[in-house]
């Protein structure tokens, strides 16, 4: 194994795994701390998906260290710590504490922090993160329920989370290419910096940064930072890039979309699917709580729809409706009611022969994949930047083994994602 990665959420892990696959690396995604490192050795890259973005920092550190140890035991030569391209975190962590712990494990005196993902509109200039045209703190991430991002300057944000000295490699250096970036690393070491926010606006910047960190044992960032890493190993002859897949075979069986994300992108995708005529059922946390809707009832509805069509089951709603449900039930209870229902619905659908599933939202994906007992995902073709088709190649639920899943980050995907994703699947 060449690259081992620890990702702080499930859809984020899939995003990174797709980037590595696109670089020609044979990549798998493992759910949770790997129990048997020996089985990981036959891949070029392994991404461990944790659910550590918003848990207490001590637990995030513990899970990340255990995962990194397993990856290193399996022979990983370079470690990536993957977090969100919008740097989702609080002043208490978890990006700083996990990065510092992994630096300790790998004996690293200098690493980088680069969440840039230009294809999806995340760019960094003078340490400030932009989401599309907006500085992070003026983007919708300002009001994220768990990790509100109210400061766009990542040097400041990260310095509040760590005792490592945080520095910056500014754009005018990055624009001069790998040698200039390497020389900025030397200067940073002399200053005593431990971690550097690195500006990046284009994919070319990311490739140059990738070349400059070829000898780093630890790299931290979004999926974009992996853009240039496969090329380093190909250049030294450590592996021969495989052609990334452009289609994926899928077992015969019915298709469903389960959407628990309420992001603007997902709500647009739900509307496009409904407008396009996909049979759709909206679940509501209050109806689930008072028993007027049930997972069994939704599964019965789905079975009764024309078998040739995908079915859409969604809780996605606009911010006012979400706020009203949260006011009635409590924020956590409203979310849990939806997650539990979608997980149970997924189990019910798979038990009746559904074999193809799109799940929208990181928390929602975690609940669904957990309920299906999926432990390992093989990475297939890109549907849209950051979202591939995957196949469950390890699942404790026999009916889920071999099924295909697309786990979509809330904010990712084009408007017609739910309509078009099926077109790159072929019958096995």
Ligand X SMILES: Nc1ncnc2c1ncn2[C@@H]1O[C@H](COP(=O)(O)OP(=O)(O)OP(=O)(O)O)[C@@H](O)[C@H]1O
Enumerate binding residues for ligand X (CB under 6 A): 11, 260-263, 285, 315, 317, 322, 325-326, 334-335, 338-339, 361-364, 409-411
Listed in sequence order, the residues at least 6 apart from 87 whose beta carbon sits closer than 8 Å to its beta carbon are 95, 115, 129, 136, 149, 154, 157
The binder of 223, among ligand LCNOYBR7, ligand X, none, by C-beta within 5 to 8 A per type, is ligand LCNOYBR7
Which one-letter DSSP state was computed for residue 243? P
Task: Supply φ then ψ for residue 196, to 5 degrees.
Answer: -120, 125
Neighbours of 105 (CB within 10 A): 16
CA dihedral over 270, 274, 277, 279, signed as positive or negative: positive
- Total of chain residues touching ligand LCNOYBR7, rule CB under 6 A: 12
The binder of 335, among ligand X, ligand LCNOYBR7, none, by C-beta within 5 to 8 A per type, is ligand X
> Toward ligand LCNOYBR7, which CB reaches closer, 19 or 295?
19
The binder of 338, among ligand LCNOYBR7, ligand X, none, by C-beta within 5 to 8 A per type, is ligand X
Half-sphere exposure of 188 (CA within 13 A, CB side): 24
Helix (H, G, I), strand (E, B) or coil at 196: strand
H-state helical runs in 290-330: 295-303, 319-329
> Toward ligand X, which CB reaches closer, 98 or 213?
98
> Toward ligand X, which CB reaches closer, 167 or 366?
366
Give the x-and-dash track for 62-101 against ligand LCNOYBR7 (CB under 6 A).
----------------------xxx---------------
Q: State how far the Cα of 47 lies from the Cα of 33, in Å rounded to an integer.
A: 10
Instruction: Write down the residue that tokens 């754009």 correspond to.
Output: 171
The binder of 139, among ligand X, ligand LCNOYBR7, none, by C-beta within 5 to 8 A per type, is none
- Answer yes or no whether residue 194 interacts with ligand LCNOYBR7 by CB under 6 A: no
> Toward ligand X, which CB reaches closer, 129 or 198?
129
- Answer yes or no whether residue 384 interacts with ligand LCNOYBR7 by CB under 6 A: no
- Answer yes or no whether residue 390 interacts with ligand LCNOYBR7 by CB under 6 A: no
> Toward ligand LCNOYBR7, which CB reaches closer, 128 or 223?
223
- Answer yes or no whether residue 223 interacts with ligand LCNOYBR7 by CB under 6 A: yes
Q: State how far the Cα of 271 lies from the Cα of 56, in Å rounded to an integer.
A: 36
The torsion defined by the Cα of 73, 78, 79 and 83, in degrees rounded to 10, comes to -150
Neighbours of 127 (CB within 10 A): 22
- Answer yes or no whether residue 363 interacts with ligand LCNOYBR7 by CB under 6 A: no
Question: What's the order of all strands across the beta sheet hosting 122-125?
Answer: 122-125, 128-131, 134-135
The binder of 317, among ligand X, ligand LCNOYBR7, none, by C-beta within 5 to 8 A per type, is ligand X
- Answer yes or no whether residue 409 interacts with ligand LCNOYBR7 by CB under 6 A: yes
> Minimum CB separation from ligand LCNOYBR7 for residue 23, in Å?
16
Token pair recorded at residue 48: 């461990």
- Answer yes or no whether residue 362 interacts with ligand LCNOYBR7 by CB under 6 A: yes
Task: Supply φ then ψ for residue 115, to 5 degrees.
Answer: -85, 10
What residue ranges bind ligand LCNOYBR7 (CB under 6 A)? 9, 11-12, 15, 84-86, 222-223, 362, 386, 409
């Amino acid at each position: 194994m060449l690259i081992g990665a620890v990702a702080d959420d499930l859809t984020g892990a899939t995003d990174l795994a797709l980037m590595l696959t696109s670089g020609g690396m044979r990549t798998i995604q493992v759910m949770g701390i790997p129990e048997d490192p020996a089985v990981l050795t036959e891949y070029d890259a392994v991404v461990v998906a944790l659910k550590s973005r918003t848990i207490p920092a001590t637990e995030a550190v513990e899970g990340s260290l255990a995962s990194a140890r397993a990856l290193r035991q399996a022979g990983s030569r370079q470690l990536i710590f993957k977090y969100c391209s919008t740097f989702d975190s609080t002043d208490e962590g978890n990006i700083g504490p996990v990065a510092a712990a992994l630096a300790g494990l790998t004996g690293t005196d200098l690493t980088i922090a680069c969440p840039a993902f230009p294809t999806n509109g995340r760019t960094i200039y003078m340490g400030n993160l932009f989401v599309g045209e907006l500085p992070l703190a003026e983007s919708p991430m300002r009001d994220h329920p768990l990790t509100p991002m109210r400061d766009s300057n990542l040097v400041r944000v990260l310095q509040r989370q760590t005792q490592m000295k945080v520095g910056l490699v500014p754009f005018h250096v990055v624009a001069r290419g790998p040698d200039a970036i390497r020389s900025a690393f030397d200067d940073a070491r002399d200053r005593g910096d431990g971690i550097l926010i690195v500006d990046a606006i284009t994919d070319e910047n990311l490739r140059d940064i990738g070349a400059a960190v070829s000898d780093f044992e630890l790299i931290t960032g979004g999926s974009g930072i992996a853009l240039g890493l496969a090329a380093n190993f190909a250049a030294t002859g450590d592996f021969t890039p495989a052609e990334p897949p452009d289609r994926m075979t899928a077992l015969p069986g019915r298709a469903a979309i389960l959407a628990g994300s309420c992001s603007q992108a997902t709500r647009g995708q739900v509307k496009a699917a409904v407008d396009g005529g996909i049979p759709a059922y909206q679940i509501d946390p209050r109806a689930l709580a008072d028993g007027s809707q049930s997972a069994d009832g939704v599964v019965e509805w789905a079975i009764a729809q024309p078998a040739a069509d995908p079915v859409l089951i969604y809780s996605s709603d606009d911010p006012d409706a979400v706020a009203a449900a949260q006011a009635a039930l409590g924020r956590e209870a409203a979310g849990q009611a939806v997650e539990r229902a979608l997980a149970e619905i997924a189990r019910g659908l798979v038990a009746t022969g559904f074999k193809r599933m799109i799940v929208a939202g990181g928390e929602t994906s975690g609940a669904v994949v957990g309920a299906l007992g999926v432990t390992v995902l093989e990475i297939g073709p890109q549907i849209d930047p950051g979202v591939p088709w995957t196949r469950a190649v390890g699942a404790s639920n026999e009916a889920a083994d071999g099924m295909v899943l697309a786990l979509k980050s809330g904010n990712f995907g084009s408007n017609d994602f739910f309509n078009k994703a099926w077109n790159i699947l072929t019958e096995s």
